[in-house]
């Protein structure tokens, strides 16, 4: 920017927009732009006034901007000072002397003035325009890139075609980005401000979600495709094409210098880089397409939460707030705290229930002696209250807790007794379970523990035996001792002496062995069994006598 167009960094060309007589200035500039559209380059003050009067501008002008010649002159001079208009001397003929001496000027809109007006027009248009997510633009871009690939493949590409393709690409792409930006911006604002009313918003929500989903689908496909095509157009070929395009840009320039050429090439490179960055991911940052996709995608949940907010607001009845305010006034008007508590309980209903207590002892007593319903409280038996509660207000005694009773001595004694018992059973087992074949009559004397074991085994064997004369082989109930019992059949009677008496019964051959003792299984003696025919089966009986 050259210095003549700025004062303190503020652009003079736009100063008229915020000046005091801004309406007048803007009206004048509009007249000039309209005249320009009619291809009229110079205007006299008189014509300007006529034009202002002809349009309805006069209606919107306030008192300070009255349409008299001095005002208009002053305004035009100010605009010239700001650089929006340029004045030239008016050299046409005049009729009177006064007119000759009055300074006469012709006014023309300058380039900066024109640019400012155009900028204003763009601004107004942009405010009105609604954004779009152009899925169609994506397919155009794809097609154009395809053409570029073809041109790049040729050795001598057609310059005009290349230039046209690249320019189109640029415009299409610019439209896509600006419209997408507008759209996402307005979407956010709509969601934030609930600009639509509820019903419209809800139906709009459906269409919007569909729209977004369609665009996101297209974007995903197009991005992949375009990225691939861009990879095909590698740097060397693109340099060539871009140079051609830049060269063609400057064919109509008046006197292009080398700097202009370099600048043009640089511009095209920048644009091309921008395009690449839009569609191709770099390692440190996502591509713009990704970002657009993310923003479109996140618009949906934002939308849904806005709808949820609307629904939440529906839960309120708008007059609940008034109810609560009235209630506040009532609370303020109560006479005492007790009255306030009454109001609290009635209005909110959040108070707990309240009941008297009773204990199990009283209940049991009442079960035993029921009290009739006609009896008065004054005469019926009262509650049972523990003396401690009555005395101290507590159910438990205060103070140190009791000591834990020490039982180590008793435990030691029990352990000893258990060990002694185990030793006894072991001894008994060793005494009996020799694995040798013997006759019952040979056993002789047994101590109590051994006798108990013996009786157990005998009991097992005899119950398992079906017929009296059969040989039986069975195990004890824990499977550790195996007993084989064979009647001798010789009619003898076996007597075993124990501490409590004598044990009598028919003699049998018996083999008792400990299955888990080492070398237990093969110590059977091989004395022949003397089983003879005779059925001398008298039942085994135990006589306890001393």
Partner 1 sequence: MIEVRKPTMSLGRTASDPDRSPKAVATKGSVVALDARLEQATLYERQRALRALLKCPLLSADDSHTTEFGLVRRYAAWLRDWFARNLDWKLQVDGETARLRKTPADLADGTRPARDSKSAAPFTRRRYVILCLALAVLERSDRQTTLGRLAEEIVAATRADSALAAAAVTLDLANFDQRRDLVQVMRLLLEFRVLVRVHGDEQQYLHEKGDVLYSVNRPALAGMLNVKRGPSTITAGPLDECIFAMVEEPVPNTDDARNRRLRAQLMRRLLDDPILYYHALDDSERAYLTSQRGRLLREIEQATGLIAEVRREGIAMVDNRGDLSDVALPEEGTDGHLALLLAEYLADHVRQDGGMPVGSAALYRHVADLIAQHRSHGRKAVADAGAEVTLTDHTIDRLAALRLVQRTSDGVIPLPAIARYTLRDADDPASESEDTTQDFLGEEA
Residues of this chain, 284-323, that bind partner 1 according to CB under 8 A? 309, 312, 315-316, 319-323
Distance separating alpha carbons of residues 115 and 32, to the nearest angstrom: 12
Q: Is 39 in the site for partner 1 (CB under 8 A)?
A: no
CA torsion through residues 302, 194, 186, 220, sign:
positive
Q: Sketch the per residue contact string, 16 through 35, with partner 1: x for CB under 8 A, - otherwise.
A: --------------------
> What is the pattern of x (binds partner 1, CB under 8 A) and - over residues 370-389?
-x-xxxxxx-xxxxxxxxxx
Annotate each residue in 96-125 with x if it binds partner 1 (CB under 8 A) or - if it does not, as one string: ------------------------------
Residue 346 as a binder of partner 1 (CB under 8 A): the answer is yes
Angstrom distance (rounded) from CA 369 to CA 366:
5
Using CB under 8 A as the binding criterion, the count of chain residues that bind partner 1 stands at: 73
Question: Both tokens of residue 244?
Answer: 């051609």
Residue 420 near partner 1 by CB under 8 A: no
Does 198 participate in binding partner 1 (rule CB under 8 A)?
no
Q: Which of 359, 447, 473, 521 binds partner 1 (CB under 8 A)?
A: 359
Q: Which is nearer to partner 1, 159 or 365 (CB)?
A: 365
**Integer distance in angstroms from the first to the last C-alpha of the chain?**
138
- Nearest approach, Cβ of residue 366 and partner 1 (Å): 9
| 38, 125, 128, 390: residue in contact with partner 1 (rule CB under 8 A) | 390
**Contacts of 221 by beta carbon, 8 Å cutoff, 6+ apart:** none
Tell me how far, at minimum, the Cβ of 188 lies from partner 1, in Å: 17
Stretch that binds partner 1, among 204-212, 284-292, 351-359, 495-503 (CB under 8 A): 351-359
CA distance 41 to 261: 33
Residue labelled with tokens 């995608």: 297
Using CB under 8 A, pick the residue from 20, 348, 479, 533 that binds partner 1: 348
Does residue 405 interact with partner 1 by CB under 8 A?
no
For residue 538, state whether it binds partner 1 (rule: CB under 8 A).
Answer: no
**Is residue 403 within the footprint of partner 1 (CB under 8 A)?**
no
Out of 393, 466, 479, 528, the residue judged to bind partner 1 by CB under 8 A = 393
Q: Taking CB under 8 A as the rule, which mask of x and - marks residues 469-508 in contact with partner 1?
A: ----------------------------------------
Give dist(CA 91, CA 104) in Å, integer: 8
Distance CA 418, CA 39 (A): 126
Q: Which is nearer to partner 1, 123 or 377 (CB)?
A: 377
Angle between helices 22-37 and 45-54 (to 10 degrees): 100
Which range in 54-62, 279-287, 368-376, 460-468 contacts partner 1 by CB under 8 A?
368-376
Establish if 199 lies at the interface with partner 1 (CB under 8 A).
no
Read off the tokens for 373. Answer: 């319903």
Which residue in the set 397, 411, 413, 430 belongs to the binding site for partner 1 (CB under 8 A)? Answer: 397
Q: Does 369 bind partner 1 (CB under 8 A)?
A: no
Least distance to partner 1, CB of residue 193, Å: 13
- Phi, psi (deg, nearest 5) at residue 198: -60, -50
What span, in angstroms and rounded, lies between the C-alpha atoms of 142 and 138?
6
- Using the rule CB under 8 A, is 88 a contact of partner 1? no
CB of 337 to partner 1, least distance (A): 6
Q: How far is the CB of 302 from partner 1 (least distance, A)?
A: 14
Does 394 engage in binding with partner 1 (CB under 8 A)?
Answer: yes
Q: Is 159 exposed, middle or buried (0-12, 13-18, 19+ CB in 10 A)?
A: middle
Taking the complex as a whole, the smallest distance from the CB of residue 195 to partner 1 amounts, in Å, to 17
CB of 361 to partner 1, least distance (A): 7
Q: Does 404 bind partner 1 (CB under 8 A)?
A: no
Any residues with CB less than 8 A from the CB of 296 and at least 6 apart, and which? 133, 184, 212, 215, 216, 219
Q: Which residue lies nearer to partner 1 by CB, 92 or 372?
A: 372
Rounded-to-integer distance, Cα 461 and Cα 466, Å: 10
Q: Can you spell out the DSSP letters for 127-170?
A: HHPPP---HHHHHHHHHHHHHHHHHHHSSS--HHHHHHHHHHHH
In this structure, what are the phi and psi dihedrals at residue 496, rounded to the nearest 5 degrees?
-120, 135
Shortest distance in whole angstroms from residue 398 CB to partner 1: 8
- Whichever of 196 and 366 has its CB closer to partner 1, that residue is 366
311 vs 529, beta carbon nearer partner 1: 311
Contact mark string toward partner 1, 325..344, x via CB under 8 A: xxxxxxxxxxx-xxxxxxxx
d(CA 183, CA 123): 16
Q: Which of 122, 160, 291, 363 is close enough to bind partner 1 by CB under 8 A?
A: 363
By residue count, the chain amounts to: 546
- Which H, E and C letters describe 89-140, residue by residue? ECCCCCCCHHHHHCCCEEEEECHHHHHHHHHHHHHHHHHHCCCCCCHHHHHH
Residue 85 tokens read as 């208009």
Q: Is the distance from CB of 172 to CB of 141 less than 8 angstroms?
A: yes
Instruction: Look at residues 184, 189, 191 and name the one whose alpha carbon lies nearest to residue 211.
Output: 184
**What is residue 65's DSSP assignment?**
G
């Amino acid at each position: 920017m050259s210095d003549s167009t700025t004062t303190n960094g503020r652009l003079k060309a736009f100063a008229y927009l915020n000046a005091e007589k801004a309406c007048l200035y803007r009206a004048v500039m509009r007249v000039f732009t309209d005249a320009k559209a009619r291809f009229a380059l110079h205007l006299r003050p008189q014509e300007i006034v006529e034009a202002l009067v002809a349009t309805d501008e006069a209606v919107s002008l306030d008192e300070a901007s009255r349409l008299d010649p001095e005002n208009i002159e002053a305004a035009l001079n100010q605009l010239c000072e700001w650089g929006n208009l340029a004045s030239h001397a008016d050299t046409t003929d005049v009729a009177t002397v006064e007119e000759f001496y009055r300074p006469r000027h012709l006014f023309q809109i300058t380039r900066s003035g024109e640019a400012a007006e155009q900028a204003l027009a763009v601004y107004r248009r942009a405010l009105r325009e609604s954004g779009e997510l152009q899925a169609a633009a994506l397919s155009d871009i794809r097609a154009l890139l395809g053409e570029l690939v073809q041109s790049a493949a040729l050795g001598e590409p057609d310059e005009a075609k290349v230039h046209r393709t690249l320019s189109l690409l640029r415009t299409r792409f610019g439209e896509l980005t600006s419209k997408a930006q507008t759209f996402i911006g307005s979407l956010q604002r709509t969601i934030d401000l609930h600009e639509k009313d509820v019903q419209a918003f809800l139906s709009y929500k459906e269409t919007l979600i569909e729209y977004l989903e369609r665009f996101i689908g297209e974007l995903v496909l197009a991005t992949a495709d375009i990225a691939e095509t861009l990879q095909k157009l590698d740097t060397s070929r693109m340099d060539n094409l871009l140079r051609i395009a830049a060269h063609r840009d400057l064919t109509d320039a008046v006197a292009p210098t080398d700097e202009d050429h370099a600048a043009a090439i640089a511009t095209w490179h920048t644009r091309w880089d921008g395009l690449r960055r839009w569609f191709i991911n770099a390692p440190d940052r996502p591509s713009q397409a990704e970002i657009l996709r993310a923003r479109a995608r996140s618009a949906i949940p934002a939308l849904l939460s806005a709808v949820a907010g609307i629904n939440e607001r529906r839960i309120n009845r708008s007059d609940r707030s008034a109810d609560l305010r009235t209630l506040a006034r009532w609370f303020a008007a109560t006479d005492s705290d007790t009255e306030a508590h009454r109001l609290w309980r009635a209005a909110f209903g959040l108070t707990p229930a309240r009941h008297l207590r009773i204990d199990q002892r009283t209940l049991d007593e009442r079960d035993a002696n029921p009290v009739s319903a006609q009896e008065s409280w004054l005469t019926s038996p009262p509650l049972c209250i523990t003396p401690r509660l009555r005395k101290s207000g507590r159910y438990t005694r205060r103070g140190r807790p009791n000591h834990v009773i020490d039982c180590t001595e008793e435990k030691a004694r029990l352990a000893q007794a258990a060990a002694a018992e185990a030793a006894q059973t072991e001894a008994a087992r060793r005494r009996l379970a020799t694995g040798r074949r013997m006759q019952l009559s040979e056993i002789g004397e047994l101590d109590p523990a051994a006798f108990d074991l013996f009786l157990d085994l005998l009991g097992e064997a005899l119950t398992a035996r079906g017929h009296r004369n059969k040989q039986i082989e069975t195990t004890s109930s824990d499977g550790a001792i195996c007993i084989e019992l064979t009647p001798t059949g010789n009619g003898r009677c076996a007597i075993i002496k124990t501490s409590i008496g004598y044990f009598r019964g028919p003699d049998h051959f018996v083999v008792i062995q400990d299955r888990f003792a080492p070398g237990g299984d093969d110590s059977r003696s091989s004395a022949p069994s003397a089983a003879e025919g005779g059925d001398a089966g008298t039942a085994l009986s135990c006589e306890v006598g001393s």
